[in-house]
């Protein structure tokens, strides 16, 4: 009798999990419904990458922003006729169009083979993994089974994303909300080894750092001058520079070597090296690319579990830019 009660209790727990849509991500989720999905996405990513390198940082940043707002549910992809979706928020306006286009093209390729089966959220997760691997970074098995979210509102973005002037305590708190620890924080920050930034995101470090020093004294002097040459005062706001001045088209551990050398671009980057709580991790990643690659892969998998929708919590969009359900918000 006791064993029967235990069995019924376990069965009840399992049914609750199913109803809540939890615990369903798996590496072979599409094994029977779309077995070639990863190959299809990778081919689309490779084609897009052959056209422009912005594919890499654009897709990677798109994945980060998507997961940090409503969870990894492709809500960042929604286009609103009234310009009030996530992508329209101030912190997302600078997201590269090539990142969106990468996901759209990959989804179209998947739909041609497996219509109505694979979510935009999973396509984005696969594409983010692939752009890293295709530029020298680690590859890893991706967990799949996400559904696309039903909410995309610009008003819900503020306060959800890391800012370039955040200190370590603020960054740690933000990342911990997504079950990411400080090692994950340092590892994911390594994505700054590719991509670019607009000058206004770090101009304060060059011209108005403090009353006693206009230039941030933690900056390597030669690097500070290089930045000022590229980003003079009142520069055109569309001007952008590489975040990694050494190997901007390789996904490597140069970001950490730059931090150690005083060549971190953002205040939030410098915080990772300055604060004793994370300095040892930065130094380790600077000296050991294998350790960085392993930590980055682990952190990406963990990030990909953030706020996923499964079961009845979402949908499988046919068009990544539009909800299927008319009453979605």
Whether 73 has a binding-site annotation, put simply, is yes
Whether 247 has a binding-site annotation, put simply, is yes
The Cβ of residue 260 has, within 10 Å, a number of other Cβ atoms equal to: 15
CB 186 within 8 A of CB 291: no
Helix (H) or strand (E) run with residue 204 in it: helix 204-207
**Rg of the chain in Å (alpha carbons):** 21
Whether 66 has a binding-site annotation, put simply, is yes
Tokens of 94: 């600078």
Coil/strand/helix, residue 240: strand
CB 198 within 8 A of CB 240: yes
- Angstrom CA distances, 132 to 79, 192, 195, 249, stand at 26, 12, 12, 11
Catalytic residue list contains 65: yes
Helix (H) or strand (E) run with residue 225 in it: helix 221-230
Whether 71 has a binding-site annotation, put simply, is yes
Whether 86 has a binding-site annotation, put simply, is yes
**Rounded Cα distance, 142 and 233, in Å:** 44
Q: Locate tokens 């689309």: which residue? A: 44
List, in sequence order, every beta strand (DSSP E) within the chain. Answer: 196-198, 240-242
- Angstrom CA distances, 120 to 93, 171, 194, 208, stand at 20, 28, 24, 42
**Rounded Cα distance, 45 and 30, in Å:** 19
Whether 252 has a binding-site annotation, put simply, is yes
**Rounded Cα distance, 299 and 111, in Å:** 29
Q: Which of 61, 65, 87, 317 is catalytic?
A: 65
CB 119 within 8 A of CB 314: yes
* Burial profile 221-244: b = 16 or more Cβ within 10 angstroms, e = fewer: eebbeebbeebeeeeeeeebbbbb
- Please give the annotated binding residues, written as ranges: 66, 71, 73, 75, 86, 162, 192-193, 244, 247, 252
- Please give the annotated binding residues for heme b, written as ranges: 192
- Please give the annotated binding residues for substrate, written as ranges: 162
- Please give the annotated binding residues for Ca(2+), written as ranges: 66, 71, 73, 75, 86, 193, 244, 247, 252
Active site residues: 65
């Amino acid at each position: 009798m006791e064993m029967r009660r235990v069995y019924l209790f376990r069965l009840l727990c399992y049914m609750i999990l199913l109803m809540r849509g939890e615990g369903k991500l798996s590496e072979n989720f599409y094994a029977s419904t779309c077995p070639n999905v990863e190959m299809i996405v990778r081919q689309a990513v490779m084609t897009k990458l052959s056209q422009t390198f912005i594919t890499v940082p654009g897709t990677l940043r798109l994945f980060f922003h998507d997961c940090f707002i409503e969870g990894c549910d492709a809500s960042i992809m929604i286009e609103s006729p009234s310009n009030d979706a996530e992508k329209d928020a101030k912190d997302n306006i600078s997201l590269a169009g090539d990142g969106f286009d990468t996901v759209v093209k990959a989804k179209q390729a998947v739909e041609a083979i497996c219509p109505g089966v694979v979510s935009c959220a999973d396509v984005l997760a696969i594409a983010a993994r692939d752009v890293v691997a295709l530029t020298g970074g680690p590859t890893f098995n991706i967990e799949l089974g996400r559904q696309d979210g039903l909410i995309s509102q610009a008003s819900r973005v503020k306060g959800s994303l890391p800012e370039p002037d955040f200190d370590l305590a603020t960054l740690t708190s933000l990342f911990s909300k997504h079950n990411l620890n400080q090692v994950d924080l340092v590892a994911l920050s390594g994505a700054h080894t590719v991509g670019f930034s607009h000058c206004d995101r770090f101009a304060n470090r060059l011209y108005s750092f403090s009353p006693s020093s206009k230039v941030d004294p933690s900056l390597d002097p030669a690097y500070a001058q290089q930045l000022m040459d590229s980003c003079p005062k009142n520069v055109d706001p569309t001007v952008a520079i590489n975040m990694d001045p050494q190997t901007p088209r390789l996904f490597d551990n140069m970001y950490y070597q730059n931090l150690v050398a005083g060549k971190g671009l953002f205040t939030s980057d410098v915080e990772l090296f300055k604060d004793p709580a994370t300095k040892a991790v930065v130094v380790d990643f600077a000296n050991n690319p294998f350790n960085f690659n392993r930590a980055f892969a682990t952190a990406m998998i963990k990030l990909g579990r953030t706020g996923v929708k499964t079961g009845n919590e979402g949908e499988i969009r046919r068009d990544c830019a539009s909800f299927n359900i008319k009453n979605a918000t």
